[in-house]
Amino acid sequence: MSSKKLVVITGASSGIGKATAELFSKNGHPLLLIARRIELIEGFNLPNTLCKKVDVTDIDTLKNAIAAAEEKFGPVDCMINNAGMMLLGDIATQDPLEWKKMFDVNVLGLLNGMQAVLPQMKTRQSGTIINTSSIAGRKTFANHAAYCGTKFGVHAITENAREEAALYNVRMVTIAPGAVETELLSHTTSEEIKEGYEKWKKEMGEILNPVDIANAMWYAYNQPQGVNIREIVIAATKQQP
């Protein structure tokens, strides 16, 4: 059994979640990986890792998965709420179901992840919660209105929760990436918007790799417990907005 503490990662099947799982595993941490596509996370074959098929909008299933991991590896020391959806669209024409999907996963799913570990962290007077937001949680972009709403929410929720948890020595970190090479864009249904986004990425040249975000999370987590890196905004050098 690893002497390192348990780390939970939601949305672990690809992109930032996968890169973060590999980095934390390489550094000896036991993991609980959560995703809807369980065959992908099981395919990573990481040591000391429990893989669970969980929809983060289902808090009971999420709590049960965490309880199973804690029984095996001890208490959760770091919760990385990384599951997210980006469905870009114009509010005037976008399918309202797309708004609901994003708010369910990006906001309610994140709140579920926080509540699943926060009471125990407060009792232990230790722990770290890292929430994946976006630069779209700080400024707006064309066709991003509902998505920006969810990510502005992530920023507000994390900062508010940080203030409430500070006296209990529990840390909250917001990671706000710019454009990253992940599957996120593939969720968008408008081909025109997707093409425009891809064009924007090409104009920047190199955009961020998921490993860059994993490294930022690792940096924040590895500060002493008395040091809280509240927010990291990270983007490709050539990204302007």
Give the span between the Cα atoms of 70 and 221, in whole angstroms: 19
With H, G, I as helix, E, B as strand and everything else as coil, classify residue 169. Answer: coil
Q: Burial code of 221-233, b = ≥16 C-beta within 10 A, e = fewer?
A: beeeeeebbebbe
Q: Which of 147, 168, 197, 221 is catalytic?
A: 147
| DSSP letter assigned to residue 106 | I
Angle at 188 (CA atoms; ends 213, 134), nearest 5 degrees: 30
Q: Residues 56, 115, 158, CA angle at the centre, nearest 5°?
A: 90
C-alpha span between 182 and 207 (Å, rounded): 10
- Whole-number Å distance between alpha carbons of 103 and 84: 9
HSE value, Cβ hemisphere, 13 Å, CA-based, for 164? 13
Query: 147 an active-site residue?
Result: yes
Q: Which residues are catalytic?
A: 147
